Structure 1
Amino acid sequence: MTASEKAKAKTEQAKGKTKETLGSATGNDRMAAEGRAEKNTGKARQAKEKAKDTLKP
């Protein structure tokens, strides 16, 4: 996994978690849902990069 892609995935996950927490704390369901989606996108990006690393010869 390249360093930039790894950082991008971790940043996306952290940003999503923050948004989700703020949305839940303020009762804003839309923001919480956006945060969950963003966090999951970061997790998917990280999984994709790990899979690419595993398949490298």
Structure 2
Amino acid sequence: MRAIVILRRADDGHVDGEIKVDGDDATRAFSGWIELLDLLDRAANPPTIDRPSPD
């Protein structure tokens, strides 16, 4: 997985920005370190789709 992260830090120390992950057309905004880590975790571990087994 490869991600491009753009960080901005406000004068009060608050961090926000955008993240774009390879294979995803959307750029997602985040506000704060926890939200960034959550987006990275979801990108690294995408949900699986339950498919019926071919019996």
The TM-score range, normalised by the shorter chain, is 0.3 to 0.5
Which has a greater percent of helix? 1
- TM-score computed with the length of structure 2 as normaliser: 0.32
TM-score (ref. length: structure 1)? 0.32
Which has the higher Rg, Structure 1 or Structure 2?
A: 2
Indicate the structure with greater strand content. Answer: 2
